[in-house]
Amino acid sequence: MKLVLASSSPRRLELLGRLGVTPDRIISPDIDETPLKGELPHDYAVRMAREKAAAVDRADDEILIAGDTIVAVGRRILGKAEDEAQQRKFLQLISGRRHHTMSSVCIIAADGTVRTKLSDSIIKFKRFQRSEIDTYIRSGEGLGKAGGYAIQGLAEAYVISISGSFSGIMGLPLYETRNLLISSGYPLDQNGA
């Protein structure tokens, strides 16, 4: 059974490796990631994973996996920080507040069955001082990341609490992914992952 990863994220590839899984092919889907008017964050995350999966061609003997991770404050979706000004705005918004990181995974089985799961984690950062935001932005770590930060890097030192899936916050919820792969017929090593 061959596996296709529909993602250009090095984090997702790394996380799949933690399950003992190496994709046979990696393809970056090209879709419009603009939220729909009034779309709730969890609906958006699920839709993005499904659309990414649907955007990639898959052979009959292949299982395809796609994912999407977003940060949300209330109903507001924080996408990938495109520049330092947007990253600063995101960090100021989540400073000292609880926010959600939603990570959706979609798998299309060899028989065409589509399965999707959503992991919703709650994170609370300390209240940032301006100098801490400046230092973090200078690191370059959060550019291009949902919410303007990468939990597995320097930002982890500012976390007061996490409730949920650390791997989901990183970009691929391993518990949900493992169960979806098994239910889709992907042969995971039963003695390991």
Answer whether 64's CB lies under 8 Å from 29's CB. Answer: no
| 136 falls within a domain | yes
Virtual CA dihedral for 15, 18, 21, 23, nearest 10 degrees?
30
* CATH code, domain carrying 96: 3.90.950.10
Q: Does residue 85 belong to any structural domain of this protein?
A: yes
Q: What percent of the chain has pLDDT over 70?
A: 97
Considering the chain, what percentage of its residues have pLDDT values greater than 90?
A: 94
Residue 98 forms beta bridges with which residues? 124
How confident is the model over 23-45, as pLDDT tens digits? 999 999 999 999 999 999 999 99
Residue 93 lies in a domain: yes
DSSP letter string, 9-69: -HHHHHHHHHTT---SEE-------PPPTT--HHHHHHHHHHHHHHTS---TTEEEEEEEE
Report whether pLDDT(191) > 60.
no
Do the domain assignments include residue 120? Answer: yes
Q: Tally the domains of the chain.
A: 1
Over residues 140-167, the mean pLDDT reads: 95
46-68: pLDDT as tens digits: 999 999 999 999 999 999 999 99
> Is the confidence at residue 192, as pLDDT, over 70?
no
**What number is the average pLDDT over the span 111-118?**
97
Mean pLDDT computed over 74-91: 95
The predicted pLDDT at position 188 comes to 82
What is the reported pLDDT for 43? 98
Residue 142 lies in a domain: yes
- Asked if residue 188 is part of any domain, the answer here is no
- Tell me if 67 sits within 8 A of 118, measured CB to CB: no
pLDDT recorded at residue 1: 86
Residue 123 above 50 pLDDT?
yes
Q: Does 190 score more than 60 pLDDT? A: no
Q: Which pLDDT band holds residue 186 (cuts at 50, 70, 90)?
A: very high
- Average the pLDDT over 127-146 and give the result: 96
Query: Across the chain, what does the average pLDDT equal?
Result: 94
Q: Considering the domain boundaries, does residue 190 fall inside one? A: no
* Catalytic residue annotation: 68
Q: Could you tell me if 67 and 172 are in contact, meaning their C-beta atoms sit under 8 angstroms apart?
A: yes
Domain region containing 86: 2-183
165 occurs within a structural domain: yes
